[in-house]
Amino acid sequence: MVELRLTNTRTRGKEPFRPIDPANVRLYLCGPTVYDRAHLGNARPVVVIDVLVRLLRHVYGADHVTYVRNFTDVDDKINATALARQQEGAPGSLEDLIRQRTEETIGWYHADMDALGAARPDHEPRATDYIPQMIAMIQTLIDGGHAYARDGHVLFRVRSYADYGKLSGRSVDDMIAGARVEVAPFKEDPMDFVLWKPSDAELPGWDSPWGRGRPGWHIECSAMSLELLGESFDIHAGGIDLQFPHHENEIAQSCCAHPHGEFARVWLHNEMLQVEGKKMSKSLGNFFTVRDLLDQGIPGEVIRFVLLSTHYRKPMDWTAEKAREAEAVLRKWRGLTAGTDPAPSPSAAVIAALADDLNTAGAIAALHDLAGKGDGAGLLASARLLGLLGEDLGGWAQAPDLSAWAARLDDLRVAAKASKDFSAVDALKAALLSAGAEVRMGPAGVELVPGPDFDAAKLPQ
């Protein structure tokens, strides 16, 4: 069996991956808060973990992997969006408008991630469906002395967990000195964080032993992962921006509520995304969603290729040039594999690269080698392990039919040979080249091949 090695954020080292149960490898990825469209940075962990899940299923068996990715559908930003709609005159109660917004946003998310070739997880729990489990876990923490109720709030007592800070590598006192923490009269310690907070009459809420309220963000993932994956599971993943405080708090809650479990053995964090060398932000005007790129005509497969071209533990820079290069490569590879059946298994070089801490950049280099050797079958099987060259993502690369234009150019060429006036030939050839077509003229006739930048709208009318 292939040995996988993954970099564990918690131990800060690359380790052999040893699943708790090889017959059921379990993985949890923190999913989106569903109040708006997913931006490109949100897509990176989804695509990275999609490749990891494909690799795990290749190694351990398609039915031996359980993949969970949640939806946070109770959140102050969601409430604010729904309240704004209500104030603008939208019909229905606030709860109705919140539900409409979350349903709408989940639909957007599915459509956008589907366009990137990311398979749906085995489970997609919604936080609002697991409120009883959250309340039960909070009560367990209170009973164990790890949490306390105060003024309708329940807070986790951070100093009750001796290992707090190990994931991010900082002590509690250092965190207080170097970070902005919310100081509130109901807190025993500035670092204590909310497990439950009160809801007024206008906000969504649920009955609890501490009054009507709603859960804090961190308790949601702890409760959902416990319910679906158990007290101990193999991999917990997400963006590096979630390392602290979200993942640090998840560990504290889960390990204190269930001290006999390990929670997650391996923590995988992908680095942040930049755009043209700068941090993506609305203030810089370089913030865009996945849908923005798709609507600009950039195929989902191209976006996926660019995201995988950089190792997940390195910052990734999205550039227009990278997208153009990716499209050219994918067109070439799709041409090479057209009409070809995939090899029985991916190439050893591609598997070895992915098994080495999910080195997708190295795997793509191996795909280039296969293409250079003309191994279409091997290229197809290996690319599909990365979620590339699948039939579901190939519609964008269907070559347009340029046979009529080829025949027209050939007729002009025949006439020009007789008249010795090649101006019409040169004019049409220039127009075709300007549209992005490659013009091949030989004794057998004229062949037109659409290039990576081909635009049918630029063809002469």
| Helices 217-229 and 131-143, packing angle to 10 deg | 100
333 to 163, 372, 396: CA distances (angstroms): 49, 10, 13
Q: How far apart are CA 352 and CA 320, in angstroms?
A: 30
Number of Cβ within a 10 Å radius of residue 171: 11
Which pair of tokens denotes residue 14? Answer: 């690359």
| Helices 403-419 and 423-434, packing angle to 10 deg | 150
Q: Residue 181 has what pLDDT?
A: 60
Q: Residue 402 has what pLDDT?
A: 84
Per-residue pLDDT tens digits for 245-294: 999 999 999 999 999 999 999 999 999 998 988 888 777 777 889 999 99
Q: Residue 234 has what pLDDT?
A: 98
Are 305 and 347 within 8 A, CB to CB? no
Which DSSP string corresponds to 206-251? Answer: B--TT-SEEE-HHHHHHHHHHHHH-SEEEEEEEEGGGIIIIIHHHH
Coil/strand/helix, residue 119: coil
Q: Measure CA of the first residue to CA of the last residue in the chain; give whole Å.
A: 59
| pLDDT, averaged across the chain | 92
Q: Residue 177 has what pLDDT?
A: 54
Domain ranges, ordered by start, for the chain:
5-270, 274-397, 402-458
- Does 256 carry a binding-site annotation? no
Helix, strand and coil content of the chain, in percent to the nearest 5, comes to: 45, 15, 35
DSSP state of 432: H
Residues of the chain with pLDDT under 50: 178
Q: How far apart are CA 19 and CA 59, in angstroms?
A: 12
Instruction: For strands 25-29 and 316-318, give the pairing.
Output: unpaired
Dihedral over alpha carbons 45, 48, 50, 53 (to 10 degrees): -110
Which pair of tokens denotes residue 402? Answer: 């340029």
Q: Residue 216 has what pLDDT?
A: 93
- Does 250 carry a binding-site annotation? yes
CATH of domain 5-270: 3.40.50.620
Which pair of tokens denotes residue 223? Answer: 């409760």
Which DSSP string corresponds to 23-80? Answer: TSEEEEE---BTTSPPBHHHHHHHHHHHHHHHHHHHHH-TTSEEEEE-BB---HHHHH
Q: Residue 269 has what pLDDT?
A: 98
Q: Please, which residues bridge with residue 252 across strands?
A: none
Sign of the Cα pseudo-torsion (208, 212, 217, 220, in order)? positive
Per-residue pLDDT tens digits for 215-253: 999 999 999 999 999 999 999 999 999 999 999 999 999
- Does 246 carry a binding-site annotation? yes
